[in-house]
Amino acid sequence: MSIKPVALTLGEPAGIGPDITIAAWLRRSELQLPPFYLIGDKDCLDRRARLLGVTLNTSAATPDTAARLFAGALPVVADGHPVTAEPGRPDETSAPAAISSIRHAVADVVAGRASAVVTNPIAKSVLYRAGFKHPGHTEFLAELAASGGRTPLPVMMLWSETLAVVPVTIHLPLREAITTLTTDLIVETARIVAADMKARFGIAQPRLALSGLNPHAGEDGSLGKEDQAIIAPAVRRLRDEGIDARGPLPADTMFHAAARKTYDCAICMYHDQALIPIKTLAFDEGVNVTLGLPFIRTSPDHGTAFDIAGSGRANPSSLIAALRLAARMAEAKPAP
């Protein structure tokens, strides 16, 4: 059975989402990209192509026709939200278009019309001004995935061929992240990582390296008690469950080349502890993957870049990596 196409969201229409979508489709044959379709306003995409000075064929499509059209035209599935925002200048059409595109993509993949969701970057400040109640994409996707009164815990993984990392606490001030960190949260996060690495990445026994919170992983309690009181018990529980977990490890020695060979994913205690190393090692190729959802979701690991939208300078590498990883995850055979 052939794989379904990937549903790609519009993202913030005034950002670089349209630029990198166009750039990725233009290289579809060279890079052997999986078929994908964009959900949003076809006129917005056509205007951006003219501004960029590129020849782009777009075609009104449905998820069922997208794969057939993909070789000759970029399939665009309308969602009824026209866009007037210009590059670098979001307007009142930006938030409704971005939110509608995400909802439509999730509905398509849940219904089996698409194999995965890939999301272009959103501008949170634009969404917040329009009344958006979620911290970001990840939490909104979890709400859309809720079933039977239960909302899944979404886990953010940043993945590249070089390194995969997961922050246990994400978009929180550092002081709040420390007070939020618990043994239960670490264990639940690591369980989701291990399960999805088996199911979506085909790794039979994922190796998880858990960082410490404090310098030198607390130096036996002399530099903070959290490593011994919170993280070490989580590691013991995970190992008792048969998960290959170790730590807490000093974060400053976890990310050199030799150390990276010893694990499949680094689980870190707060946002920057995880994102600084991967953005240093794989800035253009990093992919944001949401684990713990009943569907596959990937995204470029960068923002809307309003300052270069429409200029032709946007690098599509992260979107290309996100599309490829989404297709790879959809095709993966779960490990026993």
Instruction: Kindly tell me if the per-residue pLDDT of 275 is higher than 50.
Output: yes
- Long-range CB pairs of 175-183 (<8 Å, 24+ gap) are 177/269, 177/270, 177/271, 178/213, 178/226, 178/270, 181/213, 181/226, 181/230, 181/269, 181/270, 182/230, 183/230, 183/231, 183/233, 183/234, 183/237
Please check whether residue 83 lies inside any domain of the structure.
Answer: yes
Verify that 63 and 202 share a domain, yes or no: no
Calculate what percentage of the chain has a pLDDT beyond 70: 99
The domain tally of the chain equals 2
pLDDT, residue 319, reads 96
pLDDT, residue 156, reads 94
Please check whether residue 198 lies inside any domain of the structure.
Answer: yes
**Residue whose token pair is 């998960």:** 243
Please check whether residue 6 lies inside any domain of the structure.
Answer: yes
Longest dimension (CA), the chain: 64
Calculate what percentage of the chain has a pLDDT beyond 90: 86
**For residues 32-58, average pLDDT:** 97
CB 97 within 8 A of CB 39: no
Residue-wise pLDDT for 227-256, tens only, equals 999 999 999 999 999 999 999 999 999 999
pLDDT, residue 2, reads 60
- The number of angstroms, rounded, from the C-alpha of 258 to the middle of its chain's C-alpha atoms is 26
DSSP secondary structure code for residue 212 in this structure = P
Euclidean distance between CA atoms 111 and 54, whole angstroms: 34
Residue-wise pLDDT for 210-233, tens only, equals 999 999 998 888 899 999 999 999
Please check whether residue 286 lies inside any domain of the structure.
Answer: no
Please check whether residue 302 lies inside any domain of the structure.
Answer: yes
Residue-wise pLDDT for 47-95, tens only, equals 999 999 999 999 999 999 999 999 999 999 999 999 999 999 999 999 9
Verify that 127 and 203 share a domain, yes or no: no
Amino acid identity, residue 159? Answer: W
Helices vs strands, H then E, count in the chain: 14, 12
Local structure of 248: helix, strand or coil: strand
Instruction: Kindly tell me if the per-residue pLDDT of 1 is higher than 50.
Output: no
**For residues 264-270, average pLDDT:** 98
Q: Give the predicted TM-score (pTM) of the model.
A: 0.92
Amino acid identity, residue 261? Answer: K
Exposure of 118 in the CB half-sphere (CA atoms within 13 A): 30
Verify that 64 and 177 share a domain, yes or no: no
Please check whether residue 287 lies inside any domain of the structure.
Answer: no
Verify that 91 and 199 share a domain, yes or no: no
Euclidean distance between CA atoms 253 and 37, whole angstroms: 42
Please check whether residue 46 lies inside any domain of the structure.
Answer: yes
Verify that 182 and 80 share a domain, yes or no: no
Q: What is the DSSP string of 8-51?
A: EE---TTTTHHHHHHHHHHTHHHHTPPPEEEES-HHHHHHHHHH
CA dihedral 20, 159, 119, 15 (to 10 degrees): -40
Amino acid identity, residue 117? Answer: V
Local structure of 260: helix, strand or coil: helix
Residue-wise pLDDT for 104-117, tens only, equals 999 999 999 999 99
Domain hosting 200: range is 162-281
Q: What is the mean pLDDT of the chain?
A: 94
**For residues 149-171, average pLDDT:** 93
pLDDT, residue 237, reads 98
DSSP secondary structure code for residue 147 in this structure = B
Euclidean distance between CA atoms 176 and 119, whole angstroms: 28
Q: Residue 79 belongs to a domain with what CATH number? A: 3.40.718.10
pLDDT, residue 137, reads 84
